[in-house]
Amino acid sequence: MIQIASSDRVFILTGAGISAESGIPTFRGPGGLWRNHRVEEVASPIAWRRDPRFVWEFYSMRRRLAAAAKPNDGHIALAELEKRLQDRLFLCTQNVDSLHERAGAQRVIHMHGELFKSRCDSCDRPPFPDDRTYEPPAPVPCCECGGQIRPHICWFGEMPYRLDEIANALDRCSIFIAIGTSGVVEPAANFVAHTRGRARSYYVGPEEPANIAAFNECFSGKAGDLLPSLFQLE
């Protein structure tokens, strides 16, 4: 059990593992490859410059998969926790699906972008909702400025979003909980170390993450099994 007092501020970081029970494959586990490509080879500015159709084929597949998936008990438990803690919970996800929101969470921070948004790769038109798929032979969509429309995703080598808000929340939290993330992709892998000495830290997932040594305690199991009865609020 994780005891949450009325004075606590909770930072939750989720990764691909929380959506695994909804049928969305994780990146580094079994089934994590796409047509024999590592995700780093498809999710990058280099891949986009080389072959934007190939990149859209990958994200179109992911849009289809995510649209068909349903939130699981883990997402629902976190949405319920948000209802009770309100702005004392900072829910930050590395996931680009919208399963936290579809479970009812209202204030999700998507540090790696959102699958159902696109943006222009050339002008500063803001990201816009987009659930279409662009698979070859469909052309790569174009912006009015002549640029190409790309997925609103933080690719390898790009800067994650909303890092100022995240740093601020890490500074203020008294409890840090990571769920379903392998602890290898920076900067998220370093968040727990950032809170050391100030916050109690917990990991939830079936395997130890690479940064396990930085956590105070580990709850071993699936998010959907553990989260519904993990939190005890004062």
Nearer to ligand OAD, 77 or 175 (CB): 77
The pairing of beta strand 128-129 with beta strand 10-14: unpaired
Shortest spacing between CB 140 and ligand OAD, in angstroms? 20
- Residue range at the interface with ligand OAD (CB under 6 A); choices 101-109, 162-170, 181-189, 212-220: 181-189
Residue 185 interacting with ligand OAD (CB under 6 A): yes
Nearer to ligand OAD, 20 or 78 (CB): 20
Residue 133 interacting with ligand OAD (CB under 6 A): no
Shortest spacing between CB 77 and ligand OAD, in angstroms? 12
149 forms beta bridges with 120
Residue 78 interacting with ligand OAD (CB under 6 A): no
179-204 as b/e: b if 16+ CB within 10 A: bbbbbebeebbebbebbeeebbbbbb
Residue 62 interacting with ligand OAD (CB under 6 A): no
If DSSP codes are grouped into helix, strand and coil, which group holds residue 131?
A: coil
Residue of 100, 110, 112, 194 marked active site: 112
Q: Which of 77, 223, 230, 231 binds ligand OAD (CB under 6 A)?
A: 223
Residue 182 interacting with ligand OAD (CB under 6 A): yes
Nearer to ligand OAD, 58 or 88 (CB): 58
Contact yes or no for 92/109 (Cβ under 8 A): yes
DSSP 25: P
Q: How far, in whole angstroms, is CA 176 from its chain's centroid?
A: 16
Shortest spacing between CB 52 and ligand OAD, in angstroms? 17
Contact yes or no for 207/186 (Cβ under 8 A): no
Residue 69 interacting with ligand OAD (CB under 6 A): no
Q: Which of 209, 211, 214, 219 binds ligand OAD (CB under 6 A)?
A: 209
If DSSP codes are grouped into helix, strand and coil, which group holds residue 186?
A: coil
Residue 52 interacting with ligand OAD (CB under 6 A): no
Q: Catalytic residue at 152?
A: no
Q: Which two tokens stand for residue 214?
A: 């930085």
Which residues have a Cβ under 8 Å from the Cβ of 166 and sit 6 or more positions away? Answer: 90, 92, 109, 111, 191
Long-range CB pairs of 127-131 (<8 Å, 24+ gap) are 127/152, 131/63, 131/67
Q: Which of 10, 20, 108, 177 binds ligand OAD (CB under 6 A)?
A: 20
Q: Which residues are catalytic?
A: 112
- The binding site for ligand OAD (CB under 6 A) comprises 15-18, 20-21, 26-29, 32, 39, 43, 94, 112, 154, 180-182, 185, 205-207, 209, 222-223
